[in-house]
Amino acid sequence: MHAAPSQEQKEQTRHGEHLFPLKKYITVLSDLYPHVTAHWHDEAELTLITEGSCTYQIQLETFHASAGDILFVPPAALHSISVAPGQEMTSETYVFHMNFLGIGSADICTVKYLTPLINQDLILPPLIQTGHEAYPELLQLFHFMNQTYTDTRPGYELTMKSCLLRAVAILLPYSHEESSRPQIQTEHTLKLKQVLEYIGEHYTEDLTISQLAGLCYFSEYHFMRFFKKYVGMSCLEYIKNLRLEKAAELLSRGEVSVLEASLSAGFSNLSYFYREFKKKYGVTPKNFTAANLSSIGTAQD
């Protein structure tokens, strides 16, 4: 079981190993870490909210989830998570690549179900709550997956694969065709992905609203409203948050100084970096580095 990695627009993180592309994550959101910013990856996700409540955005649709709810995020779907001020949320998530389910084989399951699912031509229900017909069986399956993943008995990989296939099969009767999604929503998703990918590639540079709005062919005013509506924070706040996460990632390795981390992440003002870093993480950059190195040393002992 692993802590969730720093998430961003197009993740480069490999979830699991090449031959076993599945990993379990625990996500905890609170006032200290209130967002998992908008991002996407090639893997799908199956999540159980274990405590609290939160708001998911999946392909620009908003879903309010609370303890006991189950969510399915398809491959390459733009999604984010946030909690309201004063609220907390804990979840367990299995992130898995569709290759693990046998997408490479040319059989009826791949052609009829898995490939359309990857291409988002077939949409499974994103939020499954207690009143849903599929909920009891899916919840029982999730708990069984947790036990299997923890025990790691011989053959557990086969069991996990069969469980994920079963989860897809449970949800299939409640799926719908992508064509039922409004065209404007699809267009907005593509535009937002383009902007987030550009920010991810150029976050160390000076980025302007005018520059980013131009990618969407929006006015600055329209772009700022568009971004805030779908990402849940202003564009400038998103860029700052991404830079802080990148700096924290560098500092956690203990290989660079605070100044080097701040400059590498795109901050030109060191005092501003100190102030914003402490606001986000609750400690100074130096104390953050010391705490991470201490925890690594303890783990090695």
pLDDT, tens digit, 9 for 90 and up, residues 93-108: 999 998 899 876 667 8
pLDDT for position 7: 41
pLDDT for position 179: 59
Map tokens 């924070």 to a residue. 233
**String of b and e for 274-288 (b: at least 16 CB within 10 Å)?**
bebbeebbeeebeeb
Q: What is the mean pLDDT of residues 111-123?
A: 87
* pLDDT over threshold 70, residue 120: yes
pLDDT for position 3: 38
Return d(Cα 221, Cα 141) in angstroms, integer.
Answer: 47
Lowest mean pLDDT among 7-16, 98-107, 228-237, 273-282: 7-16
* pLDDT over threshold 50, residue 299: no
pLDDT for position 4: 39
Cβ contact 79:6 at 8 Å:
no
Q: What is the mean pLDDT of residues 175-203?
A: 80
pLDDT for position 2: 38
pLDDT for position 282: 86
For the chain, the domains span 2-180, 183-300
Which CATH number is 2-180 given?
2.60.120.280
Which CATH number is 183-300 given?
1.10.10.60
pLDDT for position 301: 44
Q: What is the pTM of this model?
A: 0.72
* pLDDT over threshold 50, residue 221: yes
pLDDT for position 272: 95
Mean predicted lDDT score pLDDT of the chain: 87
Report residue 229's pLDDT band, with 50, 70 and 90 as the boundaries: confident
Greatest mean pLDDT range, 69-73, 223-227, 254-258: 69-73
Q: What is the mean pLDDT of residues 211-225?
A: 92
* pLDDT over threshold 60, residue 66: yes
